[in-house]
Protein backbone atom coordinates (compact mmCIF):
# COMPACT_ATOMS: atom_id res chain seq x y z
CA UNK A 1 0.00 0.00 0.00
CA UNK A 2 1.46 3.37 -1.08
CA UNK A 3 1.66 6.25 1.41
CA UNK A 4 0.06 9.22 -0.31
CA UNK A 5 -0.71 11.56 2.60
CA UNK A 6 1.70 12.87 5.27
CA UNK A 7 1.12 14.29 8.75
CA UNK A 8 2.52 17.74 7.87
CA UNK A 9 -0.36 18.16 5.36
CA UNK A 10 -3.15 17.38 7.82
CA UNK A 11 -5.09 20.44 9.02
CA UNK A 12 -8.49 20.94 10.66
CA UNK A 13 -11.22 19.26 8.54
CA UNK A 14 -8.71 17.43 6.31
CA UNK A 15 -10.07 14.04 5.27
CA UNK A 16 -7.47 11.52 6.42
CA UNK A 17 -7.04 8.24 4.58
CA UNK A 18 -3.49 6.94 4.76
CA UNK A 19 -1.07 4.62 6.55
CA UNK A 20 0.80 5.70 9.69
CA UNK A 21 3.23 4.20 12.18
CA UNK A 22 1.62 3.64 15.59
CA UNK A 23 4.01 4.79 18.34
CA UNK A 24 1.61 4.41 21.26
CA UNK A 25 -1.85 2.96 21.83
CA UNK A 26 -3.80 3.51 25.07
CA UNK A 27 -7.37 2.97 26.12
CA UNK A 28 -9.04 6.16 27.36
CA UNK A 29 -12.56 7.21 28.22
CA UNK A 30 -14.50 10.48 28.22
CA UNK A 31 -18.09 10.99 29.36
CA UNK A 32 -18.38 7.23 29.82
CA UNK A 33 -17.31 6.42 26.26
CA UNK A 34 -14.16 4.37 25.75
CA UNK A 35 -11.89 5.14 22.82
CA UNK A 36 -8.45 4.15 21.52
CA UNK A 37 -5.92 6.98 21.86
CA UNK A 38 -3.02 6.54 19.43
CA UNK A 39 0.17 8.47 18.75
CA UNK A 40 0.87 8.26 15.01
CA UNK A 41 4.07 9.10 13.17
CA UNK A 42 5.52 9.38 9.72
CA UNK A 43 8.71 11.01 8.44
CA UNK A 44 7.06 14.47 8.63
CA UNK A 45 6.01 14.41 12.29
CA UNK A 46 3.69 13.12 15.00
CA UNK A 47 -0.06 13.42 15.56
CA UNK A 48 -2.54 12.04 18.09
CA UNK A 49 -5.60 10.06 16.95
CA UNK A 50 -8.82 9.20 18.77
CA UNK A 51 -10.59 6.12 17.47
CA UNK A 52 -14.23 5.65 18.49
CA UNK A 53 -16.65 2.82 17.81
CA UNK A 54 -18.17 -0.38 19.17
CA UNK A 55 -15.00 -2.38 19.76
CA UNK A 56 -12.50 0.52 20.02
CA UNK A 57 -11.53 -0.75 23.49
CA UNK A 58 -10.06 -3.87 21.93
CA UNK A 59 -7.69 -2.01 19.59
CA UNK A 60 -4.94 -0.94 22.09
CA UNK A 61 -4.62 -4.58 23.20
CA UNK A 62 -3.98 -5.97 19.74
CA UNK A 63 -2.13 -3.15 17.96
CA UNK A 64 1.57 -3.89 17.42
CA UNK A 65 3.53 -0.82 18.47
CA UNK A 66 6.07 0.32 15.89
CA UNK A 67 4.05 -1.10 13.00
CA UNK A 68 2.06 0.62 10.28
CA UNK A 69 -1.76 0.76 10.11
CA UNK A 70 -4.34 2.32 7.84
CA UNK A 71 -6.30 5.14 9.51
CA UNK A 72 -9.38 6.84 8.06
CA UNK A 73 -10.74 9.93 9.79
CA UNK A 74 -10.73 13.71 9.84
CA UNK A 75 -8.36 16.40 11.18
CA UNK A 76 -9.75 18.19 14.25
CA UNK A 77 -8.50 20.76 16.74
CA UNK A 78 -9.32 20.66 20.47
CA UNK A 79 -10.02 23.75 22.63
CA UNK A 80 -6.25 24.28 23.10
CA UNK A 81 -5.80 24.36 19.33
CA UNK A 82 -4.03 20.97 19.28
CA UNK A 83 -4.58 19.08 16.06
CA UNK A 84 -5.56 15.43 16.15
CA UNK A 85 -7.28 12.85 13.96
CA UNK A 86 -10.76 11.81 14.97
CA UNK A 87 -12.18 8.59 13.55
CA UNK A 88 -15.44 6.81 14.05
CA UNK A 89 -15.12 4.90 10.79
CA UNK A 90 -15.84 1.16 11.23
CA UNK A 91 -13.24 0.53 8.51
CA UNK A 92 -10.44 2.02 10.68
CA UNK A 93 -11.34 -0.29 13.56
CA UNK A 94 -11.51 -3.22 11.18
CA UNK A 95 -8.02 -2.35 9.88
CA UNK A 96 -6.58 -1.88 13.39
CA UNK A 97 -7.95 -5.21 14.57
CA UNK A 98 -6.92 -7.04 11.39
CA UNK A 99 -3.19 -6.35 11.85
CA UNK A 100 -0.44 -4.15 10.45
CA UNK A 101 0.09 -3.28 6.80
CA UNK A 102 2.98 -5.14 5.14
CA UNK A 103 5.40 -2.60 3.67
CA UNK A 104 7.40 -3.02 0.51
CA UNK A 105 11.24 -2.95 0.83
CA UNK A 106 12.53 0.57 1.60
CA UNK A 107 9.05 1.90 2.35
CA UNK A 108 9.87 2.10 6.09
CA UNK A 109 11.76 5.34 5.33
CA UNK A 110 8.37 7.06 4.99
CA UNK A 111 7.72 6.37 8.68
CA UNK A 112 10.95 7.08 10.53
CA UNK A 113 10.50 10.53 12.03
CA UNK A 114 13.71 12.24 13.01
CA UNK A 115 14.78 15.83 12.54
CA UNK A 116 18.22 14.91 13.97
CA UNK A 117 21.27 14.73 11.69
CA UNK A 118 22.42 11.31 12.82
CA UNK A 119 25.81 11.05 11.08
CA UNK A 120 26.83 14.65 11.77
CA UNK A 121 25.88 14.45 15.46
CA UNK A 122 27.75 11.16 15.93
CA UNK A 123 30.91 12.58 14.32
CA UNK A 124 30.72 15.75 16.43
CA UNK A 125 30.30 13.91 19.72
CA UNK A 126 33.18 11.56 18.89
CA UNK A 127 35.38 14.58 18.19
CA UNK A 128 34.53 16.12 21.57
CA UNK A 129 35.21 12.79 23.35
CA UNK A 130 38.57 12.56 21.59
CA UNK A 131 39.49 15.96 23.10
CA UNK A 132 39.45 14.48 26.64
CA UNK A 133 43.06 14.85 27.81
CA UNK A 134 43.11 12.04 30.38
CA UNK A 135 43.67 8.94 28.25
CA UNK A 136 42.03 6.48 30.68
CA UNK A 137 38.87 8.58 30.86
CA UNK A 138 38.80 9.08 27.09
CA UNK A 139 38.96 5.31 26.45
CA UNK A 140 36.36 4.69 29.16
CA UNK A 141 33.84 7.12 27.59
CA UNK A 142 34.46 5.75 24.09
CA UNK A 143 33.80 2.20 25.37
CA UNK A 144 30.45 3.24 26.89
CA UNK A 145 29.11 4.62 23.58
CA UNK A 146 27.76 1.79 21.44
CA UNK A 147 25.35 1.71 18.50
CA UNK A 148 22.30 1.95 20.79
CA UNK A 149 23.46 5.38 21.96
CA UNK A 150 23.39 6.78 18.43
CA UNK A 151 19.92 5.40 17.54
CA UNK A 152 17.92 5.66 20.75
CA UNK A 153 15.41 8.47 21.50
CA UNK A 154 15.92 10.57 24.66
CA UNK A 155 12.29 10.35 25.79
CA UNK A 156 8.82 9.21 24.82
CA UNK A 157 7.33 12.64 24.69
CA UNK A 158 9.03 15.48 26.57
CA UNK A 159 12.11 16.25 24.46
CA UNK A 160 14.26 14.72 21.68
CA UNK A 161 11.61 11.95 21.41
CA UNK A 162 12.79 10.61 18.03
CA UNK A 163 15.40 8.26 16.55
CA UNK A 164 18.83 9.74 17.30
CA UNK A 165 17.32 12.01 19.97
CA UNK A 166 19.60 10.77 22.76
CA UNK A 167 22.73 11.54 20.75
CA UNK A 168 21.40 14.97 19.72
CA UNK A 169 20.43 15.85 23.32
CA UNK A 170 23.79 14.60 24.63
CA UNK A 171 25.70 16.63 22.05
CA UNK A 172 23.72 19.76 22.97
CA UNK A 173 24.37 19.10 26.68
CA UNK A 174 28.13 18.76 26.30
CA UNK A 175 28.35 21.83 24.03
CA UNK A 176 26.28 23.97 26.43
CA UNK A 177 28.38 22.80 29.40
CA UNK A 178 31.64 23.65 27.64
CA UNK A 179 30.38 27.02 26.46
CA UNK A 180 29.19 27.91 29.99
CA UNK A 181 32.68 27.11 31.24
CA UNK A 182 34.27 29.22 28.52
CA UNK A 183 32.01 32.21 29.10
CA UNK A 184 31.86 32.39 32.88
CA UNK A 185 34.87 34.06 34.47
CA UNK A 186 37.30 32.16 36.74
CA UNK A 187 36.02 28.66 35.99
CA UNK A 188 39.46 27.27 35.18
CA UNK A 189 39.42 25.15 38.37
CA UNK A 190 36.63 23.03 36.86
CA UNK A 191 37.74 19.65 35.48
CA UNK A 192 37.01 19.95 31.73
CA UNK A 193 37.62 16.24 31.13
CA UNK A 194 35.07 15.31 33.81
CA UNK A 195 32.54 17.82 32.40
CA UNK A 196 32.81 16.16 28.98
CA UNK A 197 32.66 12.61 30.36
CA UNK A 198 29.76 13.44 32.69
CA UNK A 199 27.77 15.30 30.02
CA UNK A 200 28.26 12.52 27.46
CA UNK A 201 27.27 9.77 29.91
CA UNK A 202 24.59 11.56 31.98
CA UNK A 203 21.68 9.82 30.16
CA UNK A 204 23.53 6.70 28.97
CA UNK A 205 21.13 4.48 30.96
CA UNK A 206 18.44 5.39 28.42
CA UNK A 207 19.91 2.87 25.99
CA UNK A 208 18.33 0.18 28.19
CA UNK A 209 14.95 1.93 28.49
CA UNK A 210 13.73 1.64 24.88
CA UNK A 211 13.30 -1.38 22.62
CA UNK A 212 13.32 -1.22 18.86
CA UNK A 213 9.91 -2.51 17.90
CA UNK A 214 8.91 -2.58 14.28
CA UNK A 215 10.10 0.69 12.77
CA UNK A 216 10.24 2.70 15.99
CA UNK A 217 11.28 2.68 19.65
CA UNK A 218 9.00 1.93 22.60
CA UNK A 219 9.64 2.27 26.33
CA UNK A 220 10.16 -1.12 27.98
CA UNK A 221 9.83 -2.57 31.49
CA UNK A 222 13.25 -1.18 32.47
CA UNK A 223 11.94 2.29 31.62
CA UNK A 224 8.86 1.72 33.76
CA UNK A 225 10.45 -0.08 36.71
CA UNK A 226 14.06 1.13 37.01
CA UNK A 227 14.60 4.28 34.86
CA UNK A 228 17.73 5.64 33.31
CA UNK A 229 19.74 7.01 36.25
CA UNK A 230 20.10 3.65 38.01
CA UNK A 231 20.71 1.90 34.68
CA UNK A 232 23.43 4.43 33.77
CA UNK A 233 25.25 3.97 37.08
CA UNK A 234 25.07 0.17 36.74
CA UNK A 235 26.22 0.29 33.12
CA UNK A 236 29.37 2.38 33.63
CA UNK A 237 30.54 -0.21 36.19
CA UNK A 238 31.15 -2.59 33.27
CA UNK A 239 34.19 -0.53 32.31
CA UNK A 240 35.29 0.64 35.78
CA UNK A 241 38.65 -1.13 35.58
CA UNK A 242 39.68 1.47 32.97
CA UNK A 243 39.54 4.47 35.35
CA UNK A 244 40.50 5.38 38.91
CA UNK A 245 38.13 5.04 41.87
CA UNK A 246 38.00 8.80 42.22
CA UNK A 247 37.03 9.27 38.55
CA UNK A 248 34.35 6.57 38.89
CA UNK A 249 32.92 8.22 42.02
CA UNK A 250 32.74 11.63 40.34
CA UNK A 251 31.04 10.19 37.27
CA UNK A 252 28.53 8.23 39.35
CA UNK A 253 27.74 11.47 41.23
CA UNK A 254 27.20 13.42 38.00
CA UNK A 255 24.82 10.76 36.65
CA UNK A 256 23.02 10.34 39.97
CA UNK A 257 22.48 14.08 40.55
CA UNK A 258 21.87 15.33 37.00
CA UNK A 259 18.19 16.10 37.66
CA UNK A 260 19.37 18.81 40.11
CA UNK A 261 16.98 19.89 42.85
CA UNK A 262 14.33 17.45 41.50
CA UNK A 263 16.53 14.39 42.01
CA UNK A 264 17.19 12.14 45.01
CA UNK A 265 20.78 13.40 45.19
CA UNK A 266 21.51 17.12 44.77
CA UNK A 267 24.73 17.99 42.86
CA UNK A 268 27.69 18.65 45.14
CA UNK A 269 30.44 19.45 42.63
CA UNK A 270 30.84 22.26 40.10
CA UNK A 271 31.03 19.62 37.34
CA UNK A 272 27.74 18.03 38.46
CA UNK A 273 25.95 21.41 38.62
CA UNK A 274 27.29 22.31 35.21
CA UNK A 275 26.02 19.04 33.66
CA UNK A 276 22.64 19.53 35.35
CA UNK A 277 22.25 23.09 34.04
CA UNK A 278 23.37 22.12 30.53
CA UNK A 279 21.01 19.11 30.50
CA UNK A 280 18.09 21.35 31.55
CA UNK A 281 19.00 23.93 28.92
CA UNK A 282 18.95 21.37 26.13
CA UNK A 283 15.78 19.56 27.18
CA UNK A 284 13.78 22.68 28.09
CA UNK A 285 14.63 24.68 24.98
CA UNK A 286 13.99 21.69 22.69
CA UNK A 287 10.54 21.12 24.23
CA UNK A 288 9.64 24.82 24.01
CA UNK A 289 10.79 25.20 20.40
CA UNK A 290 9.00 22.00 19.30
CA UNK A 291 5.81 23.03 21.13
CA UNK A 292 5.90 26.48 19.51
CA UNK A 293 6.25 24.89 16.06
CA UNK A 294 2.80 23.41 16.67
CA UNK A 295 1.30 26.67 18.03
CA UNK A 296 -0.35 29.07 15.55
CA UNK A 297 1.22 32.56 15.47
CA UNK A 298 -0.45 35.07 17.81
CA UNK A 299 -1.89 32.27 19.97
CA UNK A 300 -1.24 31.01 23.49
CA UNK A 301 -1.30 27.25 23.98
CA UNK A 302 -0.16 24.74 26.58
CA UNK A 303 2.65 22.69 25.02
CA UNK A 304 2.41 18.90 25.05
CA UNK A 305 6.13 18.49 25.70
CA UNK A 306 7.04 21.42 27.96
CA UNK A 307 3.64 21.43 29.73
CA UNK A 308 4.04 25.22 29.82
CA UNK A 309 1.76 27.88 28.39
CA UNK A 310 3.55 29.41 25.43
CA UNK A 311 2.75 32.28 23.12
CA UNK A 312 3.92 32.15 19.52
CA UNK A 313 5.04 35.68 18.61
CA UNK A 314 3.49 37.13 15.46
FE1 LIG B 1 18.18 12.34 32.53
FE1 LIG C 1 19.40 14.54 29.75
pLDDT tens, position by position, 286-307: 999 999 987 888 888 888 889 8
Residue pair 254/200 in contact by the 8 Å Cβ criterion? no
Distance of CA 108 to the CA centre of its chain: 19
**Model pLDDT, residue 214:** 84
Q: How far apart are CA 24 and CA 144, in angstroms?
A: 29
User: Region 190-208: what's the mean pLDDT?
Assistant: 98
**Model pLDDT, residue 262:** 86
- Ligand 1 geometric centre to CA of 170 (Å): 10
- Ligand 1 geometric centre to CA of 261 (Å): 13
- Ligand 2 geometric centre to CA of 219 (Å): 16
Instruction: Using a CB cutoff of 5 Å, list residues around ligand 1, an ion.
Output: 203
- Ligand 1 geometric centre to CA of 118 (Å): 20
- Ligand 1 geometric centre to CA of 157 (Å): 13
**Model pLDDT, residue 303:** 85
Q: How far apart are CA 153 and CA 115, in angstroms?
A: 12
Ligand number nearest to the C-alpha of 166: 2
- Ligand 2 geometric centre to CA of 194 (Å): 16
Residue ranges of the chain that CATH labels 2.40.50.140: 7-110
Q: What is the pLDDT of residues 116-143, one digit of tens each?
A: 999 999 999 999 999 999 999 999 999 9
- Ligand 2 geometric centre to CA of 125 (Å): 15
Residue ranges of the chain that CATH labels 1.10.3210: 118-292
pTM of the predicted model as reported, rounded to 2 decimal places: 0.84
User: Region 192-199: what's the mean pLDDT?
Assistant: 98
SS (H, E, C) 66-110: CCEEEEEEEEEECCCCCEEEEECCHHHHHHHHHCCCCCCCCHHHH
As a CATH number, domain 118-292 is: 1.10.3210
- Ligand 2 geometric centre to CA of 283 (Å): 7
The fraction of the chain above a pLDDT of 90, given in percent, is 78
Length of the chain: 314
Q: What is the pLDDT of residues 214-235, one digit of tens each?
A: 888 889 999 999 999 999 999 9
Superfamily (CATH) of domain 7-110: Nucleic acid-binding proteins (2.40.50.140)
- Ligand 2 geometric centre to CA of 7 (Å): 28
Which of the two residues, 263 and 191, has the higher pLDDT score? 191
Amino acid sequence: MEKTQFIENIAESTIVDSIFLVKRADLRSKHGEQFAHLTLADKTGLIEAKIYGGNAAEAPRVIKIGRVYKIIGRGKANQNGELYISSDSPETLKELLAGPVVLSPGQENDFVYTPAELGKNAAEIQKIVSSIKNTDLKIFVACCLDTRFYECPAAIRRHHEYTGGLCEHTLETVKIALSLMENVARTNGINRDMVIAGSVLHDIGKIFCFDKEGYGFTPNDTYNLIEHITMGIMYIDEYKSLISEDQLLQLRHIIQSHHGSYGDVIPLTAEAWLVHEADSGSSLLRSIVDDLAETPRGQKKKGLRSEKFLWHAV
